[in-house]
Amino acid sequence: MPAPKKYPDELRERAIRFARDLMNGPDQLSANAAARRVGDQLGINADSLRNWIKQRRIDDGEQPGLSSDDKARIIELERENRELRRANAILKSASAFFAAELDRPQR
């Protein structure tokens, strides 16, 4: 189960928008400087905001990397893979148990 989110989604979206405006505005601040400035104003950790900005750029196709949808799909597939491996192990042990029962001499 993932940890609860510390910041609401609305605040996250607003902070990303403000930081990207600073990055694309007349000052053309770097991602770190924009994250620091907006983070101080909104009470958000600058490193968290910088990571959000980076992920948004990946999701928008401006930067290479795994998008949020791809990451969620990979996590879902890994979970399903674990469940299938567990079910397969249970079926193997059950088949071995019943095979041993069939091989025993009958009274």
Same domain for 50 and 8: yes
CA dist., res. 31 & res. 42, Å (int): 16
What does the pLDDT read at residue 2?
A: 65
Pair (11, 58) in one structural domain = yes
Q: Which residues span the domain enclosing 17?
A: 1-65
Q: CA 16, CA 50: separation in Å to the nearest integer?
A: 9
At 3 the three-state DSSP class reads: coil
Q: Please check whether residue 58 is in contact with residue 44, taking contact to mean a CB–CB distance below 8 angstroms.
A: no
25 with 72, same domain? no
- Cβ distance 58 to 65 under 8 Å? yes
53 shares its domain with 83:
no
- Same structural domain for residues 71 and 107? yes
* Model confidence pLDDT, tens digit, residues 12-48: 999 999 999 999 988 889 999 999 999 999 999 999 9
In this structure, are residues 58 and 66 in contact, taking their beta carbons and an 8 Å threshold?
yes
Residue 1 has pLDDT above 70, yes or no: no
How many domains are there within the chain?
Answer: 2
Q: In angstroms, rounded to a whole number, what is the distance separating the alpha carbons of residues 14 and 7?
A: 11
What CATH number should be reported for the domain holding residue 15?
A: 1.10.10.10
The DSSP element (H or E) to which 41 belongs, if any, is helix 31-42
* Residue count of the chain: 107
**pTM assigned to the model:** 0.71
Residues 91 and 44 in one domain: no
